[in-house]
Structure 1
Amino acid sequence: MNRKERNHFLKLFYDLGDFIRGFIGIVVAISFLINKIGFTKSVFIIVVLVIAVLIYKFLSWRKNFFIIKENSIYHEKGILSIKKIEIPFERINTIDISQRFLERIFKAATIKIDTGDTKNSGSELKFTLNKERAEELRDILLKKETDTDGGQQDKFYTMKPKGIIIYSLISNSVFKGIGMLLVAQQFFDEYLKRFIKIDISQYGDRLQNGSFYYRIYVITSVLLVLVFISVCLSIIYNFLKYYDFKMWTDNKKIYINYGAISKKSYSFDKEKVKGIHIKQSILMQCFGFFTMEIENIGYGDEKGEKAILYPICSSFLKNEIIENLLGEFKYSGIINKPKINASFRFFYKKVILWAIIGVICFFIRPKFVLLTLMILLFFLVLGYLEFRNTAFGMDKNLVYMGYNSFNKTRSILKMTAVQSVTLSRSYFQRRRGFCDYIIILYSSTASKVLKVKNLKDDVVDEVFR
């Protein structure tokens, strides 16, 4: 208590790494200076600049410290421009602990602290500390109590390897595998092609000279191989990401741990969870699986981060998690669906777009018009899913929303998380008594906007009468 604490020396190493990554600018400067003032003077100037940067980075690390007080945390950083902040413990919303590979070697960890202040983007405080100290600091800031729960047993959930495999197969993460393939192909073209000689022209000639059925066979085989490889890469990626996934809770807090190479540990108060998002890819909709995320300021607002509550679960497990962890999000109000006479509005823009594409294809080559029938089928399925998945409801405490097509989402949000409810409609919607409902949520980065379309325009009136 009341003593200055600084970042682990790895933080200084990371800062220097960022500097080295920008070294290309120094290389350009060197080549420019050599032509202007000569080699010796150029090297001298560059050495002085590098030393100055090293001194600045060290002083920045030295001047970046925090102090744990009785009921608050004080943070100060800066050399010329000094920034000071003091945050009471009760304002802390989320605490995240993560370990990158290098941090695991040196038994360090990065702790991120958020208060849920909507004026700030990303984590408000971030420190790299010894792992034991980071966990101790988390417990101090959250005031973890182990003896005040009346001996109630924690609710504990884990995800088995089978669940990770299913998630990899039916979630959108399979596209990450395709992305990895594209990266690998680009890497091969740029670096390995000069060392590994592969002549693919002979295969192209054989394919071009083969029969129609031979071409179909080869193309189908190649696609199947690519899909198989992308699925394997997706499974590997998700095993590394969600390895040893654990979620547990006590009376006040929820804890989430996962990760193989980069370990993640999240802790936040139940009361500060603003909502839950239940998501389904198209295959999840077919097989009855769900991904659960939460709306919690400070969690999921880092780059590449999702506010995961549970990666994949059945309908039974989903209901059990809500019942045991977040019972206040059990929505029992009226759920409004689009009327049959509103279904046209989910299709007409897509049909018009298809017609435009068809006309363009007709003038380019009439045979291409037949191919646009596949586009029309896609648009019709898209419109049908949007119509089926759209839903909206409100009561005094919760807002229920259903939206999207191939990536179906159901959001259940606390009314206190809603910044505004907007009713929007065009002239034709007004004539038929329809409108779009736009919900703006409080968020740490920017106001998050959720929208449902083509519902009756009297839903909100029923709640606020």
Structure 2
Amino acid sequence: MGKKMEKKMENNIRFRNHISIVAERLGRVLLLVIVAAISGLAQNVKALANSSGMDAKDAKVILLACGAILLLLAIGAAWQFIVWSKTYISIYDNTIVIERNTLNRKKDTIGIKNISNVNMERNLFEMLAGTSKIKLDTNSMTTANKTDVTIVLKKEDAQSLRQYLMDLMEASGEESIKEKKADAGQPQYDVEASLGDMVVHGLFSINLFSLLILLGCAVGMAEVVSDTLGQGFAGKSIMGILASILVMATVFMSALWDIIKGFVKYYDFKVKRIEDRLYIRYGFLKKVSYTIPVDKINALKLTQSLLGRMSHRYMAEIVNVGMGDDEAEKQSFLLLYSKKEALDAKLHSLLPEFEDAVRMPVSRQPKGTLAAWMMPLLAYCAVVAGVAGTLAELLPRYRGWIGAGMAGLIALTIFLMALRYATAGFAVGKKCVVLANGYFRRCLSYVSYEKIQHVQLEQNFIAKRMGIQKGSLYLLASADSRVQGIPYFPKKEVDIIKSNMVS
């Protein structure tokens, strides 16, 4: 731990972020400038290729453009330096105060008791700079979609600050001391992922849509190259061909990375529980470390991909403020894909609070659900038929294709409804409610009654006659997890949910 930071912690603390944050933020601006420059150059490649030389006027324009870029970078660097030098973070009287004394003055105050997570993160730049990023999140609905406070410090100082904040969060400090002792030697984790575990997780987390895009782009690029080699450039623009290949290559690489990241994202995954906190660490190019109080966990989610459903494997996620609220961290991760028996054993060590819940049988939606779906299905079919009829009148040559498209859309909708009926379900327990949702993939959400903010229910007239209803329940979480869909369930179970919420 940093001795300088430890000395500061004896009294009130007031400090700035590490100056490397200026370069990190400026790097984003530089990336945008480089992309813009490459885009402009690509648009003028043909003109430059046809030009026999460069006159003084062209050289002057290029020099002016380079000068403008350098000026923008200089202004950006100066502004980021001013913001850094005028921004202070203070910790005193069990509060964190962030002051920004620029022209647009800003002061935010956060109570230590309201902090839900103290997380650490290191991207590749921060590893090279020897710094770490601390992310603090609070139990606030208004800021649930973003990190409330981000602090960048030298690695040792960041560890000291994190420990200090955890000591403040615990009245007795016993738990933080236990974590220090656990981390002093070789920490014994409850779950550690091997290379084989990561490969298995990567296979079962492959997105079917990304795989189809990958195959489509590969076929498209192969066809363009084959056609060009076979027929030459007759009647075709070189720039047009290159642009087509570039677009397909970009989409291809995006889909490929979406598949590959499932294999490498959770490198060196480890999780342990000490008293009532979970400590989660993983990462290769981007190392993250989460500290999560168990009482801040609002729900447990067990997810199955299509391949996971076929092999009876699950992965576990948790829902709380602070995990899954950043764009790069959409999944609030807890456990890799594994068989149900192995997953239950791991949850017994990590979250025994949900042990009974995950053993609850989940019932399918009532049979009256199919009748309740008939009204929206008929309305959808009427709209599709109306649009198809209009297009057939306007384009009589394509009536056959239009009719086939209409039939395909209706058949696809019925197929998805069948998948939904086979996947969705509901269960009411003594301590939590279980929601099953999905089509190809399945997600089981275990929500404690005390964590439910409010419930919204609805039913059409057919569902009312059938004695069933559906709705949504709302949690304190990021936007992706805040609303949990409730499939159709018997109306008589509403009273059970209400009584458990208020008890």
Letter aligned with residue 338 of structure 2: C
| Pick aligned residue for 1:384 from 418, 421, 439 | 418
- How far did 1:91 drift? 2.1
- How far did 1:266 drift? 1.1
Is 1:64 aligned to 2:84, yes or no? no
- SS of 1:409's equivalent in the other structure is strand
The corresponding residue for 1:90 is: 113
- SS of 2:453's equivalent in the other structure is strand
CA offset digits 1:115-157 (Å, max 9, x no partner): 1211224111001111222222222212252449999x96511
**CA 397–204 in structure 1, closer or farther in 2 if over 3 Å, else same:** farther
**CA distance in 1: counterparts of 2:207 and 2:65, whole angstroms:** 49
CA offset digits 1:50-101 (Å, max 9, x no partner): 6554433212101222234464433222412332234343322112211111
**CA distance in 1: counterparts of 2:164 and 2:66, whole angstroms:** 50
**CA distance in 2: counterparts of 1:49 and 1:233, whole angstroms:** 32
Is 1:104 aligned to 2:127, yes or no? yes
- How far did 1:23 drift? 4.6
Letter aligned with residue 267 of structure 2: Y
Letter aligned with residue 340 of structure 1: K
The corresponding residue for 2:342 is: 317
CA offset digits 1:257-294 (Å, max 9, x no partner): 11111111111111111111111111111111112111
- Structure with the largest fraction of helix: 2
The corresponding residue for 1:262 is: 286
The corresponding residue for 2:491 is: 457
The corresponding residue for 1:145 is: 176
The corresponding residue for 1:14 is: 24
| Pick aligned residue for 2:456 from 422, 447, 450 | 422
Query: Do the aligned residues in 1 keep the contact of 2:319 with 2:481 (CA within 8 Å)?
Result: no
Is 1:116 aligned to 2:139, yes or no? yes
Structure 1 residues without counterparts, runs of 5 or longer: 28-33, 190-196, 206-227
- How far did 1:435 drift? 1.2
- SS of 2:89's equivalent in the other structure is strand
Query: Do the aligned residues in 2 keep the contact of 1:274 with 1:413 (CA within 8 Å)?
Result: yes
**CA distance in 2: counterparts of 1:12 and 1:386, whole angstroms:** 49
The 5 A counterparts of 1:297-336 are 297-305=321-329, 306-329=331-354, 330-331=356-357, 335-336=362-363
The corresponding residue for 1:136 is: 160
CA offset digits 1:431-462 (Å, max 9, x no partner): 22121132122235588222233322121123
- How far did 1:349 drift? 5.1
- How far did 1:229 drift? 10
Letter aligned with residue 105 of structure 2: I
Is 1:125 aligned to 2:125, yes or no? no
**CA 79–233 in structure 1, closer or farther in 2 if over 3 Å, else same:** closer
- SS of 2:440's equivalent in the other structure is coil
Letter aligned with residue 443 of structure 1: A
Deviates more, 1:415-424 or 1:379-388: 379-388
**CA 460–154 in structure 1, closer or farther in 2 if over 3 Å, else same:** farther
The 5 A counterparts of 1:120-269 are 120=143, 121-143=145-167, 144-147=175-178, 156-173=190-207, 175-176=209-210, 198-201=225-228, 236-269=260-293
CA offset digits 1:163-206 (Å, max 9, x no partner): 222233232446556667889999x99xxxxxxx955346699x
Letter aligned with residue 476 of structure 2: Y
**CA distance in 2: counterparts of 1:184 and 1:39, whole angstroms:** 37
Count residues with an aligned counterpart. Answer: 426
Letter aligned with residue 145 of structure 1: S
The corresponding residue for 2:239 is: none
Percent of aligned positions that are identical: 22
- SS of 1:339's equivalent in the other structure is coil
**CA distance in 1: counterparts of 2:87 and 2:81, whole angstroms:** 10
TM-score (norm 2): 0.71
| Pick aligned residue for 2:297 from 257, 266, 273 | 273
- SS of 2:146's equivalent in the other structure is coil
The corresponding residue for 1:295 is: 319
**CA distance in 2: counterparts of 1:280 and 1:430, whole angstroms:** 32
**CA distance in 2: counterparts of 1:355 and 1:384, whole angstroms:** 20
The corresponding residue for 2:48 is: none
Query: Do the aligned residues in 2 keep the contact of 1:399 with 1:413 (CA within 8 Å)?
Result: yes
Deviates more, 1:82-91 or 1:322-331: 82-91
**CA distance in 1: counterparts of 2:230 and 2:193, whole angstroms:** 44
**CA distance in 2: counterparts of 1:253 and 1:183, whole angstroms:** 45
